[in-house]
Structure 1
Amino acid sequence: MSHPVNINPVRGLLYQARYSPEHPAVIYEDETVDYAHFTESVRRLAGALARSGVGTGDRVAYLGLNSEVFLRTMFAAWWLGTVFEPLNFRLAPREVAGLLTRSTPAVTIVEPGHVPVLEAALPLAEGYDGGSVVVVDTDPAVPWTPDGSRGVEASGDDGAAAASWTTLGTYAAGSADDDAALPEPFEASDGDLAVLMFTSGTTGQPKGVRLTHGNLFWNAFNVDSLVDTRRRDMNYAVAPLFHIGALNSFTVRALVRGNTTLVRRTFVPSQVLADIEHYGVNTTFLVPAMVLGLSQDPAFEQARLESLRGLICAGAPVPPVVISLLKSKGVPVQQAWGLTETAPFATYLPTELTYEKAGFAGMPMLYTEVRIVDPATHEPVTEPDVRGELWVKGPNVADGYWQDDRATAAAFTDGWFHTGDIGYQDADGLYYIVDRLKDMIITGGENVYPAEIERVLAEHPDIADAAVVGAPDEQWGERIVAVLQAHPGRETPTIEELREFCGQRLARYKLPKDMLAVGTVPRNGSGKLDKVTIRELVRQS
């Protein structure tokens, strides 16, 4: 006879507070918070949310950078069976307004630096009453200094948003009677919604991915089955936690299993290198652009990184040149592939194959199925080295999109998630990601995948970053355009030099016909190339 199992991460947090109360849970702004104190702060915030009427299934949003309060809010939401909604802190007010309209959070916790964004967004959020807004006034990195004219009482100028505002210090303060009224932590099962995470939306309106407690839990099982992580590891959270890669690769698991998480608000290469050495960091999630940034920092040559045995690099195809740069430091880059909908990993390349299979996305995670299908017929592709769209199925895969039946029906078939990524499986059964299906360029009747060219451009000694897009062409249908960012102090290569360099590595029909030099190649909040913005730059050039 089977019995339901409570898989709420709060259960793990309480376990650590009971048996390892003095062990460091979070290091933030060089202040250490042990499990006893972190769990107590979670309990108090959960009590405050409960007193304000927040209950099971409601949404609690967070708008701000990586912080201890971010993590506290997440666990407090889960204590009540509430859905945690981390908002992209890079979004403009109108974009935030769209997400608020669709998700209607009961409470939004906002950092001081993002108060102006939220104030501007609320009047634009049609049909949303604004809920309650809590301003973080307890974070030493972002002190709260109200302007006096408004204090923390706010409403939209046109009356469209009538949110009530308070500060976190006031909101979370409670009496003994209040504490006694706090309900027992919510007992979560596989199907209970845990996180509402909106995709970056670089190709259209963001979709709200419904991630359940089961998705988070089974991803942890997948990671534990393949990645060399250990109890008491030092985890490093520097990639934005509003993305599933940074949040659920190691950080949620670290707080459940009794590890320590060092939280940094932003990515500063010199600081990251110093932190890895000083704190003996064991695990971290970085996107390829971050790893490249580390290798280009002046401190990289002298940095000692040997403690780092769990560096997972994902979020975009990993160029082999990036892997080679870390090899000199004795750090095998562990490549992985997945999406927000897979929470986040669908495949993983173990350390013993890092160099033999450089650039590969790896093997399916233990409890996840991956198949390649013909994107036109949806028939499975069984031959090795034949390209098709990758579909994923498993308990770590989301069940659909928030209040969007049409998008759900288009992306899910009998439990299989259509990733939109093109790839192939080699004779050893390992997967290689070629590019996004939507980014494919058709030139002269040939299919060209920009990521193939971008990997080659990453090897050019004068190029710091590169993107490849298609542009209309009367003769060829589309022509290939390279958008290039040169290393500081170096010249951007000419198109002739670029074609000569690429011609040694690529077929001639894949060579760029045009190039555009830019100061910075646009990327979105997850570190992926922002192809919409890049195409517009090319169009205007």
Structure 2
Amino acid sequence: MTQRTAATPLWIDLVARALEAGRDRVLVVPAGEPGAGWTGAELARRIGGAAALLDAAGCPRGGTVPALMTTRPEAMATVVAGAATRRPIAPLSPRLTVTELADCLTDLESPVLLCEPGSAEIGGELARRCGRRLAVVGNLPRAEAPALSAAADETAFVLHTSGTTGRPRRVDVRQDRMGARSVVNARLTRLDTASVYSASSPFHHIGGLGAFAVALAAGARIVAFPRFTVDAWQSLGRLGVTHAQAVPAMIETLLRADAFALPTLRLLQYGASPIHPGTLRRALAAMPGVAFVNLFGQTEGAPLTCLSPEDHQRAAAGDEDLLNSVGRPVAEIELVVHEPDGNGVGEVRARGPHLFAPGADGWLRTGDLGRVDERGYVFLAGRKGDLIIRGGENVHPLEVEQTLTRHDDVEDVAVVGVPDERVGEAVKAFVVARNLDAPPDPAELRAFARTTLAGFKVPEHWEFVAALPRNPNGKVLRRALTQPTN
């Protein structure tokens, strides 16, 4: 049993305090419903109803409960009920196929599968395939809430990695580590009881439930955001949202639609995938009075680094190279670059009290390649598996992509390695042109890249595409680019 200390707040304790302090204040608002919402007292009663539902469904204590859930107040209440009764909830995406979901269920112990009414069809098929009982979570009844307490090393909830390569991996979110993360994130994003928070990531994602769990622990009002659309984003202004989170692909969509600015917004958090410096410059110009924060991390542990509002101000004032970085390590993190090459690039590793899945030695091996400059800023170079070795030379795709996106005619780009008999791997760029009907000439792009990149890093092969394949969290699916099409 992990030793609990006063210096390590548990997530469930923070939630209990927030509910008590906000008994008469609205804490959770359904999407698009400014006149509706649950006070802290009402949320507590719904947590009691969720606990009763888990009892009635036959969910044994100590078993993780899979749940097809989107961002709804009922989902948040169910997660808290599961955490308080030793039946941690593992939210899964209803947008996955039954085969993909079945892979996730293999290591989730509960004989019961929860789903929302809108996912009953796929939930029923999944339950039959995996031999689980299906329980539908609709409008939760009201009941006395269970005691909101837990041991430090008990699991609050379970997340899965996004699975861009291979099978998604289970990540257990411990009470003590989630408590520590809540404190860190609330400080970095300036969250408190006066904040109104919404996140655009899916509920099953670290940027969804992981973000809402932080906001709830901080006592902020949560505005549910089940699915990203331009209209849904603009509705956040009518709901008084002061703090929001978005991934780079969403920011680009909103900028194109001239719908990015929100009148009530004070802080925007972005992350999950690299943002092109040009996109970020346009975003800063669209909301000049808003504080921007980039938190870098992953499901297994976040945040590792922070590009703060002050850093963004320095970048806007002329220090634009900062926009290529993910900031400096947060105060609670020890970060190293393992086995750096001649350019200082190696695997980013970190350890700290709020990381969910460190190794036995305490270090989280991120799989991200990066370097740290003389000021302490971390610059990513891509994933270890994305590294291209061309004729014995290392080519980091992210470095090439950041160069090419500075070209006026390039909207987006992804760089991969392709087999080559002469050099082993050749560099290939998949380019989305700003004008799809008049893409730039590859020779022009090659010359542009050569002004800042060594010759071996410049792509030899070019392909123009209408869009890059991405997962729901905005990450480019590089494998999909290299797979043959029929």
> Are 1:484 and 2:443 an aligned pair?
no
Q: Which of 180, 190, 196 is residue 218 of structure 1 equivalent to?
A: 180
1:21/1:89 CA distance change after superposition, 3 Å: same
1:334/1:113 CA distance change after superposition, 3 Å: same
Name the residue aligned to 1:244: 206
Name the amino acid aligned to 2:148.
P
Name the residue aligned to 1:315: 272
Q: Which secondary structure state, in structure 1, belongs to the residue aligned with residue 324 of structure 2?
A: coil
Whether the 8 Å CA contact 1:235–1:261 is kept in 2: the answer is: yes
For normalisation by structure 2, the TM-score amounts to 0.89
Name the residue aligned to 1:324: 281
Name the residue aligned to 2:230: 269
Task: Give me the whole-angstrom Cα distance separating, in 1, the residues matched to 2:445 and 2:121.
Answer: 44
Name the residue aligned to 1:362: 327
What aligned pairs does 1:345-360 form with structure 2 within 5 A after superposition? 345-354=303-312, 355=315, 356=319, 357-360=322-325
Unaligned runs of 5+ residues in structure 2 are: none
Whether the 8 Å CA contact 1:90–1:525 is kept in 2: the answer is: no
Q: Which deviates the most, 312-321 or 494-503?
A: 494-503
Name the residue aligned to 1:395: 353
1:36/1:490 CA distance change after superposition, 3 Å: farther
Whether the 8 Å CA contact 1:62–1:87 is kept in 2: the answer is: yes
Unaligned runs of 5+ residues in structure 1 are: 139-171, 375-380, 401-411
What aligned pairs does 1:119-198 form with structure 2 within 5 A after superposition? 119-125=124-130, 129-130=131-132, 132-138=133-139, 173=141, 183-189=146-152, 191-198=153-160
What aligned pairs does 1:47-446 form with structure 2 within 5 A after superposition? 47-125=52-130, 129-130=131-132, 132-138=133-139, 173=141, 183-189=146-152, 191-249=153-211, 251-272=212-233, 274-300=234-260, 303-305=261-263, 307-328=264-285, 329-330=287-288, 331-342=290-301, 344-354=302-312, 355=315, 356=319, 357-374=322-339, 386-399=344-357, 412=359, 414-446=361-393
1:364/1:332 CA distance change after superposition, 3 Å: same
Q: Which secondary structure state, in structure 2, belongs to the residue aligned with residue 65 of structure 1?
A: coil
RMSD: 2.6
Task: Give me the whole-angstrom Cα distance separating, in 2, the residues matched to 1:221 and 1:384.
Answer: 37
Whether the 8 Å CA contact 1:335–1:360 is kept in 2: the answer is: no
Cα deviations by residue, 1:270-304 (Å, 9 ceiling, x for unpaired): 431x234333422222222122222221334xx35
> Are 1:37 and 2:42 an aligned pair?
yes
1:110/1:497 CA distance change after superposition, 3 Å: farther
Task: Give me the whole-angstrom Cα distance separating, in 1, the residues matched to 2:181 and 2:470.
Answer: 27
Task: Give me the whole-angstrom Cα distance separating, in 2, the residues matched to 1:451 and 1:505.
Answer: 14
Task: Give me the whole-angstrom Cα distance separating, in 1, the residues matched to 2:149 and 2:61.
Answer: 8
Task: Give me the whole-angstrom Cα distance separating, in 2, the residues matched to 1:76 and 1:366.
Answer: 32
Task: Give me the whole-angstrom Cα distance separating, in 2, the residues matched to 1:426 and 1:494.
Answer: 34
1:325/1:280 CA distance change after superposition, 3 Å: farther
1:66/1:20 CA distance change after superposition, 3 Å: closer
Whether the 8 Å CA contact 2:199–2:246 is kept in 1: the answer is: no
Task: Give me the whole-angstrom Cα distance separating, in 2, the residues matched to 1:47 and 1:120.
Answer: 25
Name the amino acid aligned to 1:388.
G
1:365 deviates by: 1.7
Q: Which secondary structure state, in structure 2, belongs to the residue aligned with residue 333 of structure 1?
A: strand
Q: Which secondary structure state, in structure 2, belongs to the residue aligned with residue 197 of structure 1?
A: strand
Q: Which secondary structure state, in structure 1, belongs to the residue aligned with residue 413 of structure 2?
A: strand
Q: Which contiguous aligned blocks of 4+ residues in structure 1 show a shift greater than 6 angstroms?
A: none
Task: Give me the whole-angstrom Cα distance separating, in 1, the residues matched to 2:179 and 2:4.
Answer: 17
Cα deviations by residue, 1:311-345 (Å, 9 ceiling, x for unpaired): 22111223221221122121343222111111x21
Task: Give me the whole-angstrom Cα distance separating, in 2, the residues matched to 1:503 and 1:308.
Answer: 41
Q: Which deviates the most, 116-125 or 333-342?
A: 116-125
Name the amino acid aligned to 1:351.
P
Task: Give me the whole-angstrom Cα distance separating, in 2, the residues matched to 1:385 and 1:67.
Answer: 47
Q: Which of 405, 410, 423 is residue 458 of structure 1 equivalent to?
A: 405
Name the amino acid aligned to 1:443.
R
> Are 1:519 and 2:466 an aligned pair?
yes
Q: Which secondary structure state, in structure 1, belongs to the residue aligned with residue 208 of structure 2?
A: helix
Whether the 8 Å CA contact 2:216–2:222 is kept in 1: the answer is: yes
Name the residue aligned to 1:507: 454
Task: Give me the whole-angstrom Cα distance separating, in 1, the residues matched to 2:199 and 2:444.
Answer: 40
1:67/1:173 CA distance change after superposition, 3 Å: closer
1:88 deviates by: 2.6
1:316/1:349 CA distance change after superposition, 3 Å: same
Q: Which secondary structure state, in structure 2, belongs to the residue aligned with residue 118 of structure 1?
A: helix
1:48/1:186 CA distance change after superposition, 3 Å: farther
Task: Give me the whole-angstrom Cα distance separating, in 2, the residues matched to 1:120 and 1:517.
Answer: 40
1:110/1:460 CA distance change after superposition, 3 Å: farther
Task: Give me the whole-angstrom Cα distance separating, in 2, the residues matched to 1:217 and 1:56.
Answer: 22
1:312/1:94 CA distance change after superposition, 3 Å: same
Task: Give me the whole-angstrom Cα distance separating, in 1, the residues matched to 2:259 and 2:246.
Answer: 18
Q: Which of 41, 51, 57 is residue 46 of structure 1 equivalent to?
A: 51
Whether the 8 Å CA contact 2:11–2:176 is kept in 1: the answer is: no
1:81 deviates by: 2.3
Whether the 8 Å CA contact 2:9–2:180 is kept in 1: the answer is: no
Name the residue aligned to 1:163: none
Name the residue aligned to 1:407: none
> Are 1:19 and 2:24 an aligned pair?
no
Task: Give me the whole-angstrom Cα distance separating, in 1, the residues matched to 2:147 and 2:236.
Answer: 38
Task: Give me the whole-angstrom Cα distance separating, in 1, the residues matched to 2:53 and 2:125.
Answer: 26
Q: Which secondary structure state, in structure 2, belongs to the residue aligned with residue 215 of structure 1?
A: helix
